[in-house]
Amino acid sequence: MALGGKIKDFKLDEVKAGTTAENLHAAVKGETYEKETMYPDFLKQAKSDGAKEAIRTLLYAQKAEAEHAKLYQEALDNLSPPADAPIYVCKVCGYTTTRLPERNCVSCREPASQYVRID
Ligand SMILES: [Zn+2]
């Protein structure tokens, strides 16, 4: 092994498949933990060990995990809304969405106050 480490015996956690939404939530949570906690801890150790190759690899992995979290979140956001989810319609342009924009209509850019909620 190039970095001189030895792999310890380990046991993987049991994986349970849930609904697609549950699985995506779990994936977002796991990737977020990796980018915000696990890799920063690994980097701290690699820096104190002066392991430059490890630092570079860990920084690459940390960036990849951040993107994975983003992609899983996008997939989660794009799942079909439940049948009872409200729908928002822009009174100006008719843009229809299940997510009320924070500021402006994504289509006509009028204020989000132009949206009406339809239950
Ligand atoms: Zn609009």
pTM for this model (two decimals): 0.58
| pLDDT on residue 48 | 97
Distance from the CA of 96 to the center of ligand 1, in angstroms? 9
Distance from the CA of 77 to the center of ligand 1, in angstroms? 20
| pLDDT on residue 47 | 97
Q: Tell whether 1 is covered by a domain.
A: no
Q: Which domain holds residue 103?
A: 87-118
Residue predicted with more confidence, 62 or 82: 62
Q: Tell whether 11 is covered by a domain.
A: no
Q: For residue 40, give every residue at least 6 positions away whose Cβ sits within 8 Å of its Cβ, in sequence order, or none.
A: 62
Token representation of residue 110: 């009028």
Number of domain units in the chain: 2
Q: Give the containing element (helix H, strand E) for 118.
A: strand 115-118
| pLDDT(4) > 80 | no
Distance from the CA of 89 to the center of ligand 1, in angstroms? 8
On whether both 69 and 25 belong to a single domain, the answer is: yes
| Distance between start and end Cα atoms, the chain | 60
Q: Tell whether 7 is covered by a domain.
A: no
Burial of 90-109, coded b for 16+ CB within 10 Å and e otherwise, reads: beeeebeeeeebeeebeeee
Distance from the CA of 74 to the center of ligand 1, in angstroms? 22
Q: Tell whether 24 is covered by a domain.
A: yes
Q: Tell whether 2 is covered by a domain.
A: no
Q: What is the mean pLDDT of the chain?
A: 89
Distance from the CA of 118 to the center of ligand 1, in angstroms? 15
Q: Tell whether 13 is covered by a domain.
A: no
On whether both 65 and 97 belong to a single domain, the answer is: no
